[in-house]
DNA sequence: CAAAGTTTGAAACATTATAACATTTGCGGA
DNA sequence: TCCGCAAATGTTATAATGTTTCAAACTTTG
């Protein structure tokens, strides 16, 4: 199995979180953008696992922090994190997941396990290029691509006792 | 411009609708599925244009038919039409559009104009194959692909006076 | 016709997202 | 330092999208 299929296997996930937060701080510093406590906390919550989190899940977790809030607080933090490429929105799930390639200019492809919910983000520049080329062939000017693949992750294949 | 980029240009759209309904009847007959009046009416409403329609838009149009209904009526009809491949759900818009290739086994790629809302459905078997192969390379078993490209359609490029 | 299965009706509810406006906070210039 | 602005957050309400549940009507089949 390729090395970057990490999320499916037991791994030191705290390292993912730490890395993501460090990257985020660095990216925001360079962009002169303010990674405020709320924004950082939302990012950290999203990174609690490799399963996308809904806005209201985040809201609930903020609540159990004691740090109670309303939906706009969360959506504003999410907008910020999206804007700086620190998270991705998974359109087919209405949920958000940490970007595994923050700082690299890229378009993500997401492999979404129907059983366990885990998402693996791939970058496939050649494929994305081919998609954009196909769009231009129709005289269409592409500016955003949503590419999400639903199915079964390696761990969940053959498991007939779903969790 | 390729011939199948029809939706962008003026065309005899009634022919699209008529064809879609005829195809639907034929497909349902063969599958021994019941294309009831409600289901057919919802399909017809979706085909009123090449712009995806939200479930509640459909509900409102059913209402102005006099034929008043509640959300489950619409969602049930949509589920049926999805099941038989007569429509597609556009995940990035939470909306539904008629399938331009009903009856052909395919996965659609959707070019969505941000300005006018028109959607063109392409089939790109080689690209889809490449995507699935990439997924399998990660030991992932794909069973559904969402591929949606947002941007500007040919008609809307250079238009700075949006409708 | 009677039984069983499918489709529709209807009411309530759940989830996801935004609008509008008030308040606070951070930051640069007088 | 302190004023003034812009950005960020708080607060309330509301909009938009989707589901659950149970009852009634209709279809199919024996
Ligand atoms: Zn991890
Ligand atoms: Zn990413
Ligand atoms: Zn048409
Ligand atoms: Zn199609």
pLDDT in tens, B15-74: 999 999 999 999 999 999 999 999 999 999 999 999 999 999 999 999 998 888 999 999
The distance of B87 to chain A (nearest Cα, Å) reads 16
Please check the confidence at residue B125 and state whether its pLDDT lies above 50: yes
Q: Does B147 touch chain A (CB under 8 A)?
A: yes
Percent of chain B with pLDDT over 70: 94
| A43-55 tens-digit pLDDT | 999 999 999 999 9
Taking the model in full, what pTM does it have?
A: 0.93
Chains A–B, number of C-beta pairs less than 8 Å apart: 128
Do A54 and A90 touch, CB atoms closer than 8 A? no
- The CATH number that domain B13-161 falls under is 1.10.10.10
B158 — pLDDT class (breaks 50, 70, 90): confident
Per-residue burial over B12-49, b = 16 or more CB atoms within 10 Å of its CB, e = otherwise: eeeebbeebbebbeebbeeeeeebeebbbbbbbbbbeb
Do A115 and A99 touch, CB atoms closer than 8 A? no
Alpha-carbon distance A90 to B92, whole Å? 9
Cα–ligand 2 centroid distance for B134 (angstroms): 17
DSSP-derived secondary structure letter, A106: -
Which residues on A lie below 8 Å from B145 (Cβ)?
A: 147-150
Alpha-carbon distance B28 to B151, whole Å? 34
* One-letter-per-residue 3-state SS of A85-97: CCEEEECCCCEEE
Please check the confidence at residue B4 and state whether its pLDDT lies above 90: no
The distance of B94 to chain A (nearest Cα, Å) reads 9
pLDDT of residue A160: 58
Full pLDDT tens readout for chain A, 163 residues: 455 678 989 999 999 999 999 999 999 999 999 999 999 999 999 999 999 999 999 999 999 988 889 999 999 999 999 999 999 999 999 999 999 999 899 999 999 999 999 999 999 999 999 999 999 999 999 999 999 999 999 999 986 544 3
| Among chain B residues, CA nearest to A107 | B149
SS3 B78: helix
Do A99 and A88 touch, CB atoms closer than 8 A? yes
């Amino acid at each position: 199995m390729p090395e970057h299929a990490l999320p499916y296997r037991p791994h030191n996930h705290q390292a993912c979180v730490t890395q993501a937060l460090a990257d985020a701080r660095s990216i925001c510093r360079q962009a002169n953008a303010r990674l405020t406590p709320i924004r950082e906390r939302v990012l950290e919550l999203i990174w609690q696992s490799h399963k996308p989190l809904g806005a209201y899940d985040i809201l609930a977790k903020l609540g159990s922090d004691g740090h109670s809030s309303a939906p706009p607080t969360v959506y504003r933090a999410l907008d910020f994190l999206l804007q700086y490429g620190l998270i991705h929105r998974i359109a087919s799930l209405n949920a958000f997941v940490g970007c595994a390639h923050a700082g690299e200019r890229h378009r993500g492809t997401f492999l979404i396990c129907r059983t366990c919910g885990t998402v693996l983000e791939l970058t496939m520049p050649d494929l994305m290029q081919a998609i954009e080329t196909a769009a231009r062939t129709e005289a269409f000017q592409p500016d955003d691509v949503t590419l999400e693949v639903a199915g079964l992750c390696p761990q969940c294949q053959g498991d007939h006792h779903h969790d």
